[in-house]
Amino acid sequence: MPMIECLSSHRFVFARRTVALAIAACALALGASAQQAASASANSAPLLASIATGPMDLATLAGVGYGSSSSSDDAAQPGDPANLFDSTVVGLQPPPRRRYGRPRYNDSSHNSDGSSKWTGEVGVGLTLPIGDTYRYYNTSWALGGGFGRQWSKKFAVLFQFDYDHFGINQKTLDSQAALYNGATSVSPITGCGPGQGESGCSLPVDGNTHVWSFTLNPKYTFMDGDKYGAYVVGGLGYYHKVTDFTTPETGLECSPYYGCFQVTQNAVYDHYTSNAPGVNAGFGLTYKFSRFADERFFIEARYVVVLNSQRYGYEYANNANGYITTGTNPDPNNAFPQNSNRTTYIPIKVGIRF
C-alpha cells in the first residue's frame, strides 16, 4: 500500500508539471502575437470587442469597414449587394475589387477614344508634272501645312495650304524667246526676224511657275499600329497658278559707302495667272516615334487636277510668221496660253504630323 500511494503521488506531480508547462507555452504564444494585435486597424476594434464579449451581431459586422483611398462610392452600404456581410455570409471577407472599363475622356482636348480633337502637319517635298503639264514644266520643290479637326483616331478633316513650284523646260523657254523676238503681233521686240527660230534670237529668257492652293481635305486612317500606319486622303479647293518669264536686266545699284555700280538681274518680262477649282486624292504612310507619342513622321503622294479655264493666244511656230494662233479670237497679249491649260501633277511630301 505505501508503494502504491507513492506511485500515485509521483503521477500527480508529473501531471501538474505538464499542465504548468502547457500554460507557459500558451503565455509565450500570446505575448508574441501581442505586437501584431497592436498594429491592427482601428476599424477592427468593434469586431474584436464583439467577439470577446458575446455573440456577433451581423448589423454591427456590416458596419465594420476597411481603410481605403477610394471615394465614398466604393464603400459598402447596408442592404447593398456589395456589403461585406449579408445573410448568406458566415465569415469576414475582403471588400470586392473595383473593376475598370475602357477609359473615357471628357475634356475639351480629347475625343472619347483618347485621340486629340485637333491635328496639324507640315511637310516639304517635290512636284512631278504629268500629262500635258509635263510638256512645259520640270520637277521642282514643294511645301505645305495644314490644321484641322480630328473626330476620332481614324477620321480627320484638315484645312491645308500648299505651295508647289515648277521649272520651265528649255524647249518651252526657247520657243518663248523666239516668239518674243520674232513675232510682230505679240510682245514685239527687235532682235530676230519672223521664222528664224531659236538660233537667231538675241533675247535670253528664263522663267518659273508655281501653284498655291487652299483646300479642305478629309483623311481616313485605315491602319493604325503601335509604329506604322496608313491612310487615304482627298479634297477640293481653290488653286492659283502663276507663270513668270524673265530676262536679264542691267541697272545701277548705289550705296552710300561704295558708290554706284552696274548689276545684272532677272526682271519679269511676261506674267500670267489662272484661278480655278481643283481636286486631289492620295495615299500616305506614317511612322510613330514611340508607342505613346502623338507626333508621327509621314510620307504621302497625291494626284492633283486643277480645272483651269482655257484662254486662247499665240504659240511659237517655225513658219513665216513665227507663231500660230490657238482657238478663235485669240488674245494678242497672251503669248503663253499653256498657263490656262488644265494642270495635272503629283506632289510628294514628307513631314511631321502632330
195, 319 contact by CB (below 8 A): yes
Among 92, 98, 95, 73, CA closest to 83? 95
* pLDDT digits 0-9 by tens, 149-176: 999 989 999 999 999 999 999 999 988 8
Share of the chain above pLDDT 90, in %: 40
Q: What is the mean pLDDT of the chain?
A: 77
Q: Domains in the chain, ordered, with CATH?
A: 118-353 (2.40.160.20)
pTM here is 0.66
Distance CA 86, CA 46 (A): 18
pLDDT digits (tens, 9 = 90+) for 12-67: 556 666 666 667 666 666 665 555 555 544 445 554 454 445 554 544 544 444 44
Q: What is the pLDDT of residue 182?
A: 65
Q: What is the pLDDT of residue 16?
A: 67
- pLDDT tens across the length of the chain (354 residues): 444 444 445 555 566 666 666 676 666 666 655 555 555 444 455 544 544 455 545 445 444 444 444 444 444 454 455 454 454 555 567 777 766 555 555 577 888 887 889 999 999 999 999 999 999 999 999 999 999 999 998 999 999 999 999 999 999 998 888 888 765 444 444 444 444 444 445 678 899 999 999 999 999 999 988 899 999 999 999 999 999 999 888 877 888 887 888 888 888 889 999 999 999 999 999 999 887 777 899 999 999 999 999 999 988 777 766 677 887 788 888 989 999 999 999 999 999 998
| Contact indicator for 64, 84 with CB cutoff of 8 Å | yes
What pLDDT was estimated at residue 109?
83
Contacts of 331 (CB under 8 A, 6+ apart): 311, 312, 313
Per-residue confidence (pLDDT) for residue 66, from 0 to 100 = 44
Per the DSSP assignment, residues forming a β-bridge with 155 are: 220
